[in-house]
Structure 1
């Protein structure tokens, strides 16, 4: 006879096979209520969140699975999957290698490590190649501008060679800067994927609380001020 938690897990597994990932999350969540110390349930829900592109929630469940079963390779493997999807390939490689230490015979882990190494190589090449490409394009645009100024206008604005060189170099510098900004935005976007999402209800709830606190304090402070002013007037009258 299966327990209620196992029944919920089976329902969640069925939903996963059918592509109903949101329903799977509900069933796995119910399973964790009945057996909160089961790493399998958290790992399964982590996968469901991953399929929904909820990387932060997926990571929280993966970490919980690792916490409950530190010697279970699936927890580290799940963590690596989330990091890989978020574009954090170096961190994913570390997680996969931890999983491999716990289970060296798992071909799935070895395949994931190989795939991650390829992505790291590709990403490093892209990070090196993009600034060079953008700089070259910038130099090319600068050269075209100088050529157009010299041959397509009656009175060239850039008559001196130093100015022409400066313009071409400036365009190349702009291209290099654009490439660096692009890379920064890519890295920032990857990092933000695993950050905790903003709780708008909580943020909105703080302000009314502050306002109500201020309003509660305001009458008493006003009364205190009025009493003090009255006492001061009485003392002046007696004097």
Structure 2
């Protein structure tokens, strides 16, 4: 080997050696080293940070992942639609069931009315009870069953159903009528009077309520010691029980007694007579006992005598 060849080889080795430390890349990541002719074109690969990975959208992995996401999203959407459909079906089914139950309740009511008209009150109660189970918000079912209980003289049950019907329909007159009838059966006449008054407020033409109202007032006076005929006469004049009790005439009537005497004439002694009580008042109060022949009022003695022709 000549001296010039050795120098050329040493120079070339130095050039190769100078390339290695300049790249500072590991053998795995560094590109192939360039020769001295193109060493100026050697570039380090761009470093990608771990926080911002760069994906190859054309790679099979990315395609599979995207497809998986689409499938998952489609599946979720399908599940949501399915759930909504089921909810809609459930609501529709519930509406159908409710309507079917109402129709069955109406059918049972018709059967109950037929049994009631035949006097089969217990069987009618059973039918109305089934109707209530079908539609517990129909106030008429409770009113009908209350009437059946009243006919069976089960007044507490009749009252409970009447109050339930009023709760469901506060402006339904018949509910208060059923309540008043049940209260009269329980001999709670004062409360029955108020119930019948409420009926007439809602339906002033209800003749049954007017009759029951008078009966409840008469029974209250009879509990106070008045006779039935006396009570009716006093109520015709004073209308209410409270007004009768406050009237002095009422006290006169309450303390009267019929006395049988020999002969064709019957005489009635009336006590507690004051100047407020006129002869006409006595005629109006006692004409129901018979045809009055004469009246003798003794104000100084606070009494009067009423003579009847034929009592």
Q: TM-score, normalised by structure 2?
A: 0.39
Computing the radius of gyration from Cα coordinates, the structure with the larger value is 2
SS at match of 1:125: coil
In 2, Cα distance between equivalents of 1:112 and 1:84: 9
How many residues are treated as equivalent by the alignment?
129
Matches within 5 A, 1:198-209: none
Root-mean-square deviation over aligned CA pairs: 2.1
Alignment correspondent of 2:127? 27
Give the whole-Å Cα distance in 2 for the aligned partners of 1:53 and 1:114.
Answer: 21
Report how far residue 6 of structure 1 moved. Answer: 1.1
The answer to whether the 8 A contact 2:105-2:132 is kept is yes
CA distance in structure 1 between the aligned counterparts of 2:159 and 2:185, rounded to whole angstroms? 11
More strand by share: 2
Mapped pair 1:43 → 2:131: no
How far 1:25 moved relative to its partner? 0.5
String of CA shifts for 1:206-225, please: whole Å, max 9, x gaps. Answer: xxxxxxxxxxxxxxxxxxxx
1:60 corresponds, among 156, 160, 180, to 160
CA distance in structure 1 between the partners assigned to 2:141 and 2:220 by the alignment: 31
TM-score normalised over the length of structure 1: 0.51
In 2, distance between residues paired with 1:100 and 1:120? 19
Match of 1:106 in 2: 206
Matches within 5 A, 1:176-195: none
Partner of 1:118: 218
Identify which of structures 1 and 2 has the higher relative contact order when contacts are C-alpha pairs closer than 8 Å and 6+ apart. 1
Return the alpha-carbon distance in structure 2 between the equivalents of residues 76 and 91 of structure 1: 11
- Post-superposition shift, 1:126? 5.6
Q: For the Cα contact (< 8 Å) 2:156–2:186, is it kept in 1?
A: no
Instruction: Give the alignment partner of residue 191 of structure 2, picking from 87, 91, 96.
Output: 91
Q: Deviations over 1:137-162 (max 9, x none)?
A: xxxxxxxxxxxxxxxxxxxxxxxxxx
User: Deviating runs (4+, > 3 A) in structure 1?
Assistant: none
What's the counterpart of residue 73 of structure 1?
173
